[in-house]
Amino acid sequence: MKLIERKQYLDKMINVIGTPDIKVLTGVRRSGKSKLLEAFRTYIHNNIPNANIIHINFNLSKYDNLKEYKTLNEYIENSYTEGKENFVLIDEIQMCHNFELCINNLHATEMYDIYITGSNAFMLSSDLATLFTGRTFEIKVYPFSFCEYVQYFELTDKYTAFDAYMLEGGMSGSYLYKEQEDKYDYIETVFDTLILRDIGQKYKIKNSALMGRISQFLMDNISNLTSARSIADTLTSNKDKINHKTVNNYLGYLCNAFAFYKFRRYDIKGKKYLVSNDKYYLSDHTFRYAKLGTKNLDNGRVIENIVAMELLRRGYEVYVGVLYKKEIDFVAVKRSEKLYIQVSDNITHPDTFKREVEPLLKIKDAYPKTVIARTRNPEYQYEGIKIVDVADWLLNKQLTSQN
């Protein structure tokens, strides 16, 4: 498979070399964590001459004898080299029984620089503090961005490239297949494995079919306000026996496994979070196509999903804004920076354009306000609001922070 340098993530790993943290790569299944760990190993080999690299990939059968924490610990300690920088890189760590005991022991010795990846369902953000007694540094890995997609295929026409990315998405394993249906078959298998095996095993779910129906409901309602109660009511009307508490648990499982991301609502005027109804976005929008088909593409929702994930890639905390009963698609916050963003497919019709800019015009603070759409034109301003094409915005990270 063709590889590209995923500089955003590799730089994060390089920047924490030598820190005492346990570095953990997290992200949805098949998002590229294993390849990233291999790229990091190559970087160490080429740039740190005094390095001793202890690399274990539990996907390979030759490491089957290390799938018990004591034997893993013994192997690593026997591989230690005095006087060198000792790096421990472990892929699919959850395949070792009681792996946290080994990692905590190695960390306590202060002799190793530790980097690990694991199955998304067994290496959750919420579990890290419980699993590891030492401080962890989480590196969140996402499927290919549009920028990475363009780089991978060496594309030059950004607008045509974005149309293709909308259909093909960021699950790079699918790029090996020539036919679109084969690509979606691969993506569907990845998602089904996530539901049936990873989440099912982690939480001992007996009714995996019900979990599948909940995930498909979320896919069908991307960018719509959703609650556990509304999902339970819909499924109950379709003869599924389920209550909202169970649905709420299942929603948590799906988000913990990085299949979906929950965006809470935020009252801009009242400066408070709203407790009812959230929005859910897919880690990669093509999961929706693979599971539900492409007859009803609903480009506006797909573009909104793509922008949502890009904001997360760029390190923002993201909320759905509410102002005077009007909705702002995204309020993105990073330290002292704040962005207000509206997303649309096509704003050429005056009524659509008015609908998108009107909520932004009501915001009285001076933070940047942007409408992102498929304009296929250079960026321009409308009463202080930036109007920018989605392909340009995705390719130019500076566009998020310019005033």
Q: Which domains, from first to last, does the chain contain?
A: 7-140 (3.40.50.300), 146-400 (3.40.1350.70)
DSSP state for residue 400 in the 8-state scheme? G
Signed CA dihedral, 254, 280, 135, 90: sign only: positive
Structure tokens at 164: 């293709």
pLDDT score recorded for residue 401: 43
Pull the structure tokens for residue 112.
């190793």
The contacts of residue 43 (CB under 8 Å, 6+ apart) are: 10, 13, 14
| pLDDT attached to residue 1 | 67
Helix%, strand%, coil% for the chain, nearest 5: 45, 20, 30
What's the predicted TM-score (pTM) here?
0.92
Distances 219 to 142, 144, 236, 284, 320 between C-alpha atoms, Å: 18, 19, 18, 11, 18
- CA-CA distance, 23 to 102, in Å (whole number)? 15
Answer yes or no: are the C-beta atoms of 139 and 9 closer than 8 Å.
yes
The encoded tokens of residue 137 equal: 């540094």
Residue 260 phi, psi (nearest 5): -125, 160
Stretches in the chain below the pLDDT threshold 70: 1, 120-126, 397-403
What are the φ/ψ torsions at residue 184 (nearest 5 degrees)? -70, -35
Q: pLDDT above 70 covers what percent of the chain?
A: 96
pLDDT value of position 239: 73
Query: pLDDT tens-digit profile of 273-323?
Result: 887 789 999 999 999 999 999 877 789 999 999 999 999 999 999 999 998
CA–CA separation, 259 vs 225, rounded Å? 18
Q: What is the pLDDT of residue 62?
A: 96
How high is the pLDDT of residue 403?
Answer: 38
Residues 6+ apart with CB under 8 A from 142: 27, 28, 31, 170, 283, 309, 312, 313
pLDDT for res 207: 85
- Residue 402 has a pLDDT of 43
CB 89 within 8 A of CB 40: yes
